[in-house]
Amino acid sequence: MLHHSIHHCKQCGTAVVYRLPDDGDAKERAVCPSCGLVHYENPLNVVGTVPHFGDKVLLCKRNIEPRKGKWTLPAGFMELNETTSEGAARETVEEAGAEFEMEGLFSLINVVRVGQVHVFYRAKLLSDQFNPGPETMEAQLFSEQDIPWDEIAFRTVKETLDRYFADRRAGQFGIHTLDIA
């Protein structure tokens, strides 16, 4: 169960109450008792890439919490006024400093417990030189057998990598959806 994250009305600043809105909505919402504004809480989108170069993928060692020092695919929260693929490309530039061409959608993973949807695209690296930003300690290419599986930061990244290498062996990339409870 998600904890209530809205405490004050964004319109007038009054402390909100969680109740059923008057509009017939069947879900408890943050409602301002002063001005009546109903606040909706929606999942956040995390967007990223599976950057590949030959038989290797690019991983970034995190320089920020959570999971500082663990390896991840370049990814982060989607911003307003960008598409999922634009956000994934932006995060790949920011975190890895990589040169690449965006390819197709690869995985869409619902992480219901934390209210997130993770979306990864394949990205073909044009160079094996990287210039990682401040959120990344190190950006490195790994072949499947060299991936530090026990040091992967997030389950969504491990699930995406598992499917990437399985598809690579099969010679065909699909689109993978899954739910992590």
Query: In which residue ranges of the chain is CATH 3.90.79.10 found?
Result: 44-180
Q: Which CATH number fits domain 44-180: 3.90.79.10, 3.40.50.720, 3.30.930.10, 3.30.750.200?
A: 3.90.79.10
pLDDT for res 169: 96
pLDDT for res 1: 46
Place of tokens 């991840």: 72
Q: What does residue 152 show for φ and ψ, rounded to 5 degrees?
A: -80, 135
- Fold for the domain defined by 1-41: Ubiquitin Ligase Nedd4; Chain: W; (2.20.70)
The per-type count for the chain, helices as H runs and strands as E runs, is: 2, 11
- pTM for this model (two decimals): 0.89
**Can you give the pLDDT of all 181 residues of the chain as single tens digits?**
456 789 999 999 999 999 999 888 899 999 999 999 999 988 999 999 999 999 999 999 999 999 999 999 999 999 999 999 999 999 999 999 999 999 999 999 999 999 999 999 999 999 999 999 999 999 999 999 999 999 999 999 999 999 999 999 999 999 999 999 8
Pairing label, strands 100-111, 176-180: parallel
